[in-house]
């Protein structure tokens, strides 16, 4: 893998973490954290204290590693904060919860400008604010010796407001499969960035700052969704998790996916034409838009933002995920993709 070009000034700038020190960084970052509605005690003490109206806590963590999950020459500090928050807030929504707070673990090289870390903090806060959530604590440490990579580990906590959590395992044959949010936009933006383009702005922007449909998660739970997850790795890969956990086949309807994700034509077709790619590859296998995919009992009036894109069937010999009756592996090959989703240890 080519090493991401260090983007932020390296060395001993007056603003670097080395000069400002751990507590200087913490006070500047905490000043940008915002306020969590659920926090009785926020950042600055030995631990935060949160109110849990439901009595149960939804808890999830995702780690973002520079060069693997983001590049500082492709995304601003604010973008990276938005993205790190979104990846976690979407997992809470995918359980049917509403996020209440984030905890942030940060490892960074000593020459990282404090202003860059303040930008990350501002992005985290801005992504959380509409939900009433905020960063309530964290930890700031030096990166491994000789490592130039920033690592961000974000934990999100959330509340179910009395609803049953929606697991991956509850889908039953006869359920409808539905989608909320966008698919393929982040992968399209990533493809453009990899070729050195900074446009189209809508696709590159979607890669930098995903827009998960947070409200669709609790709405699906309230409507009786039987299984749900967010699409972080790729639709076929993540629906595979639902199928496996539920012991059922998820048969996605290609025409419905085209209608939901590729009509009217826009940036996905534009970039695909320029790169000689099939935009359906991004829809089926592209990650990081954090759309939600769920199963609902047949006849459920789908909540706002949800569209039907398939059906759950009895397990059969064709495998767990089908695209209009065709095994997912064949659909992956047909669109020229390498795998049903992101390959982590490739
Ligand atoms: N190192 C780990 N220790 C314990 N649980 C883990 C670890 N890594 C992943 N998991 C759990 O495995 C499940 C699948 O992880 P992942 O594919 O990362 O989910 P997601 O796409 O929702 O982030 C999650 O429940 C996650 O909490
Ligand atoms: C520099 C860079 N290269 C590649 C990608 C693409 N990418 C990285 S991780 C990932 C999948 C999601 O990451 P993961 O850590 O699996 O999140 P989770 O499924 O745990 O939510 C994708 C599509 C990227 N975002 N940035
Ligand atoms: Mg994860």
* Per-residue tens of pLDDT for the chain, all 346 residues: 455 555 565 666 889 999 999 999 999 999 999 999 999 999 999 999 999 999 999 999 999 999 999 999 999 999 999 999 999 999 999 999 999 999 999 999 999 999 999 999 999 999 999 999 999 999 999 999 999 999 999 999 999 999 999 999 999 999 999 999 999 999 999 999 999 999 999 999 999 999 999 999 999 999 999 999 999 999 999 999 999 999 999 999 999 999 999 999 999 999 999 999 999 999 999 999 999 999 999 999 999 999 999 999 998 777 799 999 999 999 999 999 999 999 999 8
Domain spanning 176-334: CATH superfamily: PurM-like C-terminal domain (3.90.650.10)
Annotated ligand binding at 61? The verdict is yes
CB under 6 Å to ligand 1: residues? 62, 91, 232
The Cα-based distances of 271 to 183, 207, 296 in angstroms read 15, 14, 34
Contact 220, 303 (CB under 8 A): yes
Cα distances (Å, whole numbers) of residue 75 to 169, 207, 329:
36, 9, 32
Q: Where are the domains of the chain?
A: 17-159, 176-334
Residue with tokens 């790795």: 233
What is the 22 CA–ligand 3 centroid distance (Å)? 28
Say if strands 227-230 and 321-323 run parallel, antiparallel, or are unpaired.
Answer: unpaired
Q: Residue 283, exposed/middle/buried by CB under 10 A (0-12, 13-18, 19+)?
A: buried
CATH 3.40.640.10 for domain 17-159:
no
Given this chain, do its domains 17-159 and 176-334 carry the same CATH topology? no
Q: Which ligand is nearest to the CA of 87?
A: 2
- How far is 19 from 11, CA to CA, in rounded Å? 10
Mutate to test the pocket of ligand 1, among 57, 58, 59, 60 (most ligand atoms within 8 A of CB): 60
Quick one: which ligand is closest to 293's CA? 1
Residue nearest to atom 21 of ligand 1 (CA): 232
Protein residues near ligand 3, an ion, with CB under 5 A:
62
Known binding residue 278? Answer is: no
Q: Is there an atom of ligand 2 within 6 Å of 342 CB?
A: yes
- Calculate the CA dihedral of residues 169, 175, 178, 184 and round it to 10 degrees: 60
Q: Is the ipTM of this complex over 0.85?
A: yes
| pLDDT at residue number 319 | 74
Q: Which ligand is nearest to the CA of 65?
A: 2
| 66 in a labelled binding site | no
Distance 156 CA to ligand 3 centre (A): 12
Spatial separation of the C-alpha atoms in residues 109 and 105, rounded to whole Å: 14
139 in a labelled binding site: yes
pTM of the predicted structure, to 2 decimals: 0.96
Q: What is the pLDDT of residue 3?
A: 54
């Amino acid at each position: 893998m080519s090493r991401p070009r260090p983007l932020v000034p390296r060395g001993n700038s007056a603003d670097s973490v080395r000069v400002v020190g751990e507590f200087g960084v913490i006070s500047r970052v905490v000043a940008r954290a915002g306020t969590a509605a659920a926090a009785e005690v926020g950042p600055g003490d030995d631990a935060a204290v949160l109110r849990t109206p439901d009595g149960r806590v939804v808890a999830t963590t995702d780690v973002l590693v520079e060069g693997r999950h983001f590049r500082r020459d492709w995304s601003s500090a604010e973008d990276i904060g938005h993205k790190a928050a979104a990846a976690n807030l979407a997992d809470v929504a995918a359980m049917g919860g509403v996020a209440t707070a984030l905890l942030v673990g940060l490892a960074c090289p000593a020459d990282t400008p404090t202003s860059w870390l303040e930008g990350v903090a501002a992005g985290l806060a801005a992504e959380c604010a509409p939900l009433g959530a905020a960063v309530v604590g964290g930890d700031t440490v030096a990166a491994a010796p000789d490592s130039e990579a920033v690592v961000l580990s974000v934990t999100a906590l959330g509340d179910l407001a009395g609803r049953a959590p929606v697991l991956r395992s509850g889908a039953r044959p006869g359920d409808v499969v539905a989608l909320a949010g966008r698919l393929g936009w982040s992968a399209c933006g990533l493809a453009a960035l990899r070729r050195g383009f900074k446009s189209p702005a809508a696709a590159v922007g979607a890669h930098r700052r995903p827009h998960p449909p947070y409200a669709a998660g609790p709405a699906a739970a309230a409507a009786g969704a039987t299984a749900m997850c967010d699409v972080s790795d790729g639709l076929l890969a993540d629906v595979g998790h639902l199928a496996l956990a539920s012991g059922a086949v998820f048969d996605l309807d290609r025409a419905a996916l085209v209608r939901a994700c590729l009509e009217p034509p826009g940036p996905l077709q534009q970039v695909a034409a320029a790169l000689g790619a099939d935009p359906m590859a991004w829809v089926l296998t592209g990650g990081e838009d954090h759309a939600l995919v769920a199963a609902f009992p047949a006849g459920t009036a789908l909540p706002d933002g949800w569209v039907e894109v398939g059906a759950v069937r009895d397990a059969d010999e064709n495998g767990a995920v089908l695209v209009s009756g065709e095994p997912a592996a064949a659909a992956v090959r047909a669109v020229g993709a390498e795998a049903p989703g992101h390959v982590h240890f490739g």
